[in-house]
Chains A and B, each alone.
Chain A
Amino acid sequence: MEKLSGAEMVVRALQDEGVEFLFGYPGGAVLHIYDAIFQQEKVQHILVRHEQAATHAADGYARSTGKPGVVLVTSGPGATNAVTGIATAYMDSIPMVVLSGQVRSDWIGDDAFQETDMVGICRPIVKHSFAVRDTAEIPEIIKKAFYIATTGRPGPVLIDIPKDKTSPMVKLPYEYPSKVKLRSYSPVSRGHSGQIRKAVEELLKAKRPIIYAGGGVVQGNGSESLVKLVRKLNFPVTNTLMGLGSYPATDRQHIGMLGMHGSYEANMTMHNADLILAVGARFDDRVTNDTKKFAPGATIVHIDVDPAVISKNIRADIPIVGRVEHVLQDMLAAVDEIGSKPDEKALARWWDEIDGWRKVHGMRYETNDNGLLKPQQVVESLYRATAGKAYVTSDVGQHQMFAAQYYKFDAPRQWINSGGLGTMGFGLPSAMGVQLAFPDAMVACVTGEASIQMNIQELSTCLQYHLPIKIININNQSLGMVRQWQDMQYGGRHSQSYMDSLPDFVKLAESYGHVGIKVEKAEDLDAAMDKAFSLKDRLVFVDVLVDPTEHVYPMHIADGAMRDMWLSKTERT
């Protein structure tokens, strides 16, 4: 058998896993591994400019491809810089494998130079972690890490590797295991057939049903089956922030995003439903508003791969644990088998009601007549320029909500944002991961002048790897989302929500070797957007000045029910 050092084993195992990109940053504890990387070409290392960006880039790669993202960082500060990105992936159930260097094993616990208990720090934000104790275990640990990260409810897995375990001086036989042996881990696949039948019977009886589809449908490749089921039943469907794209937003049966900034019709439909079929969603607090007032008349059918999210926030009447993809297929089969049709008359009445809500308050905003743009117009212009076909990543704030509301995502994995953790600084590095995975695709990063500055250094990485991302900076010169809350709940006292001393983003982009375009007037927007996308091989930073006073609506009224919303600064339900 071939003999390899621990460092060579790490790199070979990544090759054997079929890893294309390794996002990382070198340092003392991982130098043996970097030397092994240097001597091969199969795994391409992407040198970021900050370890947080390595994790977000790997995350963007994972979200857009469905394949695990892989990260390599050094011990101590390299590892701690990666923590935010690991937590971001954890909250959104993204498959990721993070390799962190560690000080040599005989120094562990001595407060050695660049020593941090990374396994300890990450315990609550990883699906699992491994500490390498023996060089010989490296192949098996890596195999297990990928298996755990990608199966069941996906998530990040950490492998902490002390420097001495990768020493080039120790060579051991290498064989990559073909199977994983884990007696204590067996993720479910198929749902319980009795429960599925019971659920379908309820669906067919329902008079005011809604399907509420979340990120689990995107991550669990359930879109195709979801579309079939929704069409077959002629039910309305709404998406969570994480689920956007799992059902085509331009379709008649799609009634928009639900939740805190969801559409009026989606929130009204949820509140008044007699049956809610939740698929790969977790009744998050940003969705439900006050859980005690949540959808008072609804029977809840809840499908998820993770039993722990079922009945956590909202009690499920019919829980189904299983992979979304399989359960939906089985449901389709059960509909055929039972043979009866949904209640057509009741559904027609239900659709009338929903269309009424649509008319009352579809997505809308007022434009300014002085030429000052509204942020919503920027997203609409982006949608037009890309014909709805771009991958859109976003940061966190008002611009994120506007992107979610006004870009109509028709395909899964097209919309990439940090929903669970809400991490500012996610947008640009995640776009890098997407653009690397799809070099010919249009990739736009919708961001704000505050968020973009949290990982602005990655403009340098983008130049190095020729990533022609289009950065759409919705520049309201303020921490808009914070400011909105201060307007609504703190008497308009804008404590620290003003972004003063902004850089000249055009010059900044240019100094990094990119193209910068500034837009100040509404009439220049479309042309600027078209120009940006016509520069196919360049990164373009489009800095668009917008109205800082704009708010995101609808907005749930705190502690109310789903139906309790602000619809504008002055109107409420």
Chain B
Amino acid sequence: MRRIISILMENEPGALSRVVGLFSQRGYNIETLTVAPTEDVTLSRLTLTTFGDDKKIEQITKNLNKLIEVVKLVDLTEGPHIERELLLVKIKATGAQRAEVKRTVDIFRGQIVDVTSSIYTVQLTGTADKLDAFIGAVEAQVMEVVRSGVSGVARGEKVLSI
């Protein structure tokens, strides 16, 4: 099962490599990874997605919690949550295709953020599923795909903070 684990950790050199190292050391996989400082610059928020059964995820979260720099973490998939990912994609768009691509972008509520005579650069945010679906829809014309990796927060009152 796919999980979104969100980690609050010390914004210190070496912290990220310890988190990433833990995954390779223990044979867990990381599918996506995003990290940036929070409003408190001493803390970073790292969000990753991974796959595993309950037993594996339990081990992953326990071992992450043991890392000295990890302050707190949450498995967002355990409760209602909002998940977002940013996609930038360059799409070949010439002749009749231009209108077709534009229509698809509109359907997915994306934006064209750069234009040349033969290319649209499209920006799209949403769940990973939605981005997958968009890429599927324009696949034949795709020239380059950049995805930010998933970030997320729990719905409602729940916050991850110290």
A interface residues, Cβ below 8 angstroms from B:
119-120, 123-124, 127-129, 131, 133, 148, 182-185, 306-308, 311-312
Contacts and interface: CB of A to CB of B under 8 A. Distances in A.
A123 B21 CA distance: 8
Contact of A183 (B14, B59, B71): B71
Contact of B68 (A120, A185, A306): A185
A183 B25 CA distance: 25
Given A124-B25, A308-B62, A312-B59, A184 B17 contact: no
Contacts of B162: 183
Given A119-B14, A120-B17, A131-B14, 9 more contacts: A123-B17, A182-B68, A183-B71, A183-B162, A184-B9, A184-B10, A184-B69, A185-B68, A308-B65
Interface in B61-89: 62-63, 65-66, 68-71
25 contacts: A119-B14, A120-B17, A123-B17, A123-B18, A123-B21, A124-B25, A128-B68, A129-B14, A131-B13, A131-B14, A133-B13, A183-B162, A184-B9, A184-B10, A184-B68, A184-B69, A184-B70, A184-B71, A185-B68, A306-B66, A307-B62, A308-B59, A308-B63, A308-B66, A311-B58
A307 B66 CA distance: 9
Contacts of B65: 307-308
A94 to B, nearest CB: 17
Contacts of B59: 308, 312
Interface residues of B, number: 20
A184 B66 CA distance: 9
Interface in B1-57: 9-10, 13-14, 17-18, 21, 25, 55
A355 to B, nearest CB: 38
Nearest to B18: A123
A312 B62 CA distance: 10
Contacts of A311: 55, 58
Given A131-B14, A308-B59, A312-B59, A124 B66 contact: no
A447 to B, nearest CB: 31
A182 B69 CA distance: 9
A71 B158 CA distance: 45
Contacts of B69: 184
A312 B70 CA distance: 21
A308 B21 CA distance: 17
Contacts, number: 36
A162 to B, nearest CB: 13
B54 to A, nearest CB: 10
A69 to B, nearest CB: 20
A133 B13 CA distance: 10
A148 B21 CA distance: 20
Contacts of A308: 59, 62-63, 65-66
B61 to A, nearest CB: 9
B141 to A, nearest CB: 42
A87 to B, nearest CB: 12
A308 B70 CA distance: 15
Contacts of A183: 71, 162
Contacts of B13: 131, 133
A148 B68 CA distance: 9
B95 to A, nearest CB: 51
A467 B65 CA distance: 42
Contacts of B66: 306, 308
A124 B26 CA distance: 9
A185 B63 CA distance: 13
A182 to B, nearest CB: 7
Contacts of A184: 9-10, 68-71
B19 to A, nearest CB: 11
Nearest to A127: B68
A474 to B, nearest CB: 35
A192 to B, nearest CB: 16
A240 B135 CA distance: 55
Contacts of A133: 13
A131 B14 CA distance: 9
A365 B29 CA distance: 48
A47 B64 CA distance: 38
Enumerate the 7 nearest inter-chain pairs by beta-carbon distance, A residue then B residue, closest first.
A308-B62, A184-B71, A124-B25, A128-B68, A123-B21, A185-B68, A307-B62
User: Chain A CB within 10 Å — which of B9, B62, B68 has the most?
Assistant: B68
Interface string B134-155: 0000000000000000000000
A254 to B, nearest CB: 32
Contacts of A123: 17-18, 21, 25
A217 B55 CA distance: 26
B68 A124 contact: no
A128 B70 CA distance: 12
B21 A124 contact: yes
A105 to B, nearest CB: 12
A98 B76 CA distance: 38
Nearest to B71: A184
A341 B52 CA distance: 44
A306 B55 CA distance: 16
Nearest to A312: B59
Contacts of A306: 66
A531 B106 CA distance: 93
A128 B13 CA distance: 13
A120 B17 CA distance: 9
Contacts of A307: 62, 65
